[in-house]
Structure 1
């Protein structure tokens, strides 16, 4: 049985959706204008019917999610499909045009049966759902978690635009069908555009009155469309406002935070320069992090997932540090778990020459300047992926240079105390670190002796 979440199945569903949309647009136009198809288009439609037929076969061989349980039993899958979508799928895939003589002899209809292909458009609801939802791994009770892979607000907007456009197209074709004399002296394109214009103005309750019903059928049809238009208009007004207000919830929360910060600045009567630095910090935090509180998300993750995510995000950072290159994998996993995020604005001093060291730093984004405090000499510039302050983990010497943020910097820190706790669990590596520390002290001693 095919898994409903298989990438190939989802691509196939998307392809079927495109084919359904083609028929939903083309069939009504052909029924009202009675034009003949070219040989190429005829073969295209025959290919689409074959696709629909293959889709019927695939549906008989695709596992289904029922009450969040994945069912592979072929008998249950078959029975469920026969009771739900099979009839619609069969009627839309059946080649009625190949049996035109039979249906004309017994039913008196041929082309009108093509309207049955529109039944397939009902399947769009199911396809939208399958493309929107993703079934994740099962819980302990074998029930799958359904997760929306498309933002609900975005999905509602796409779904609404799709169906409103398709419905307006059908109403326009219905208008031409009821009034064959409508702009009969014009070409097909002009007649369709003008009828679509009438459809849109009527559904949106604007109704300029430049195109009006003439016959009783057209009048009754227009009244029905007006009633539907009022419902659609109310739905639009009620939902568009909600969509716009919720389209970017994080931005709304960020704006609320800025308002709170402004109130804090006014209450504390902070000087303009300091106030601008605070605002600049939060604006940069939004532009680079989109208002995401990384620490809050981090604290809510279970330890197993936290370690795996940490290794994925930070393993490349710690692997460039010389004394971590040969470290055991267990130690690396403990180290990445202890990394803490920190942010610095351009011009911020991360630490000064002569400071007591407490952390080493991993630079994830931005660049920093290494400066000699006495002479203000720029010794080096470190870019994303670099590290600094690593010797604070293995000895107690003071900082030998000043580190200044040259841009907005996204960094991760590893505390000296936490690293010492990790080393207790890895005595062999602790001995390796001790050797490095002793060698560094010898080098510093020899440099001091030469200077004297």
Structure 2
């Protein structure tokens, strides 16, 4: 399956975007001005159609994200595509002009079926996201996400200008179609420019009145364009007012923090690979936590509220651990107070095989690979809601494997010292935990013994 964030896929989306824009501009012009294209242009259009057909095939092979989880199952990908963009993509890619005689004979249609290519312009909404991510370049995860944090307003305005310009072009073509005698003695370029002038003045509600409708259908068309123009005008004013009156304070503070970090990195002449990791860390913090520092919030909250919120947020995490599963609510309330947030970047080593253990870990978001250092093989990959390193709380042995972040990880840790304080308050629970640890040791020794026997054999 194709990863949706693969650099070459973004470049492909950029090519498709330009192809869609070309047809969105050229097809209405050709229909209303009735000009002929040369053999060379026709060849280019046929190549673009091949690109559209290839894009349909690629979309059946492109995975997608659902709630930050990458979906790679072919059946789910196909169902999602068939229920969303497939029909539009197929109609815009199908070479109706090659079967013009057939469609004219049986359906009374002409080569104006090429207008179906305009349907694909709707997909520009989705392609704009690809262009926004592509603009950062490179193939690192932080580069694809950085622009959404740093400069979102620019792309919103660019998107609005693009669609407004395209709509004005369509309105101008519609005016020529409804008024075939409009400047009939002039060349096509002059007719289009004057029609575009009428379109812009009408949409912007200026309307000098030098070009006016003369028939009922032209009058109705003009009124509809005026109504849309008022909507566009209101949309622009509303957005500007919203931007000025509802500035995202959190985003501004985060941007200031990024500026400070960039100045620090430049002043200290930190190497690029380390600088990129630092920026990636803060950008991911914004992506997952929106720049919120949990420690500051916890310090301000009353103890009772702090305990209730911690229990609500983390009870599911600690309940998956065997020796917490049957614990009383009172004990769980004590445990959740001791959980500390911690973040790791993709590729960071959380602990290494042979280390002295001090914490166990709960995965709130992300994936963690458990690795055998000797062979370098990944033993298992843990996901959201999982835990690891729990024997550090009940055993004095060293780490038996390494743990490495497979993506940006939002973890919570429980320190061994904190856990021992909880055990002192609950003697019966402490006895059951020790018994579980004893059985776990016996089980581990039996596995190790069986492994050695198999190796000798």
Band of TM-score, shorter chain: 0.5 to 0.7
Report the TM-score, using the length of structure 1 for normalisation. Answer: 0.53
Corresponding residue for residue 126 of structure 1 = 126
Distance 1:311 1:118 in 2: 43
Change (3 A) 1:292 1:170: same
Of structures 1 and 2, the larger Rg is shown by: 1
SS in 2 for 1:3: coil
* 2:26 is aligned with 1:8: no
Corresponding residue for residue 176 of structure 1 = 176
Change (3 A) 1:308 1:180: same
Aligned pairs, how many? 266
Task: Trace 1:232-381 onto structure 2 (pairs within 5 A).
Answer: 232-240=232-240, 292-294=259-261, 308-309=274-275
Change (3 A) 1:11 1:245: farther
Contact kept? 2:133, 2:145, Cα under 8 Å: no
Task: Give ranges in structure 2 of 5+ residues lacking alignment.
Answer: 266-271, 280-457
Distance 1:37 1:178 in 2: 23
* 2:49 is aligned with 1:49: yes
| Superposed CA RMSD | 3.7
Corresponding residue for residue 160 of structure 1 = 160
Deviation at 1:248, TM superposition (A): 12
Change (3 A) 1:68 1:30: same
Corresponding residue for residue 22 of structure 1 = 22
Corresponding residue for residue 40 of structure 1 = 40
Q: Deviations over 1:376-412 (max 9, x none)?
A: xxxxxxxxxxxxxxxxxxxxxxxxxxxxxxxxxxxxx
Distance 2:244 2:172 in 1: 29
Moved over 6 A (4+): 134-138, 144-147, 244-250, 295-298, 310-313
Corresponding residue for residue 108 of structure 1 = 108
Distance 2:96 2:276 in 1: 59
Distance 1:41 1:224 in 2: 35
* 2:44 is aligned with 1:74: no
Corresponding residue for residue 205 of structure 1 = 205
Change (3 A) 1:238 1:297: farther
Deviation at 1:137, TM superposition (A): 6.3
Distance 2:276 2:195 in 1: 59
Report the TM-score, using the length of structure 2 for normalisation. Answer: 0.53
Contact kept? 2:14, 2:130, Cα under 8 Å: no
Deviation at 1:224, TM superposition (A): 0.3
Distance 1:198 1:179 in 2: 13
Task: Give ranges in structure 1 of 5+ residues lacking alignment.
Answer: 139-143, 254-288, 299-305, 314-452
